[in-house]
Amino acid sequence: MTTPHLLLDRAKVERNADRLRTHVASLGSTLRPHVKTSKSVDVTRLLFDGGTGPITVSTLREAEAFAANGFTDVLYAVGIDPHKLDRVLALRRAGVDLVVLLDSVAQARAVAEAGVPALVEVDCDGHRGGVTPGAPEVLEIAAVLGEHLRGVLTHAGESYFCYTEPELVAAAEHERTTAVGVAEDLRAAGFPAPVVSVGSTPTAHFARDLTGVTEVRAGNFVFFDLVMAGIGVCTVDDLALSVVTTVIGHRPDKGWILTDAGWMATSRDRGTAAQPTDQGYGLVMTEDGTLIPDLLMTGASQEHGVLSLRDGSTAPFPDLPVGTRLRVLPNHACATAAQHDHYDLVDSSTAWPRVNGW
Of the residues 26, 83, 188, 347, which one makes contact with a second copy according to CB under 8 A:
83
How far apart CA 298 and CA 35 sit, in angstroms, is 29
Q: What residue type is assigned to position 100 of the chain?
A: V
The H or E element that residue 185 is part of is helix 165-188
Angle at 25 between CA 22 and CA 26, to 5 degrees: 80
How far apart CA 18 and CA 57 sit, in angstroms, is 21
226 binds a second copy (CB under 8 A): no
Q: Looking at beta carbons only, is 53 or 129 nearer to a second copy?
A: 129
Of the residues 30, 72, 246, 286, which one makes contact with a second copy according to CB under 8 A:
246
Q: 270-280 b/e with 16+ CB inside 10 Å = b?
A: bbbeebeebbb
84 binds a second copy (CB under 8 A): yes
User: Looking only at residues 38 through 67 of this chain, which bind a second copy when binding is defined by CB under 8 A?
Assistant: 58-60
Over the window 256 to 275, marking each residue x when it contacts a second copy by CB under 8 A and - when it does not, the resulting string is --x-x--xxx-xxxx-----
Q: Looking at beta carbons only, is 60 or 98 nearer to a second copy?
A: 60
How far apart CA 56 and CA 33 sit, in angstroms, is 6
Closest CA to 204 of 25, 11, 9: 25
8 binds a second copy (CB under 8 A): no
How far apart CA 232 and CA 344 sit, in angstroms, is 27
Q: Looking at beta carbons only, is 71 or 160 nearer to a second copy?
A: 160
Rounded to the nearest whole angstrom, what is the least distance from the CB of residue 106 to a second copy in the complex?
A: 5
Cross-strand pairs, 198: 216
Q: Answer positive or negative: Cα dihedral of 281, 337, 328, 247.
A: negative
Q: Looking at beta carbons only, is 62 or 210 nearer to a second copy?
A: 62
250 binds a second copy (CB under 8 A): yes
339 binds a second copy (CB under 8 A): yes
Span interacting with a second copy, options 42-50, 200-208, 221-229, 252-260, rule CB under 8 A: 252-260
199 binds a second copy (CB under 8 A): no
Q: Looking at beta carbons only, is 255 or 293 nearer to a second copy?
A: 255
Task: Give me the phi and psi of 329, to 5 degrees please.
Answer: -85, 130
Span interacting with a second copy, options 46-54, 106-114, 138-146, 169-177, rule CB under 8 A: 106-114
321 binds a second copy (CB under 8 A): yes
Closest CA to 169 of 239, 235, 231, 229: 231
DSSP, collapsed to helix, strand or coil, labels residue 272 as helix
How far apart CA 99 and CA 84 sit, in angstroms, is 13
Rounded to the nearest whole angstrom, what is the least distance from the CB of residue 208 to a second copy in the complex?
A: 26
Cross-strand pairs, 351: 344
Q: Looking at beta carbons only, is 312 or 358 nearer to a second copy?
A: 358
Binding site residues, a second copy, CB under 8 A: 2-5, 36, 58-60, 78-84, 87, 103-104, 106-107, 110, 126, 128-129, 132, 157, 246, 248-251, 253-254, 258, 260, 263-265, 267-270, 301-304, 306, 321-323, 334-335, 338-341, 356-358
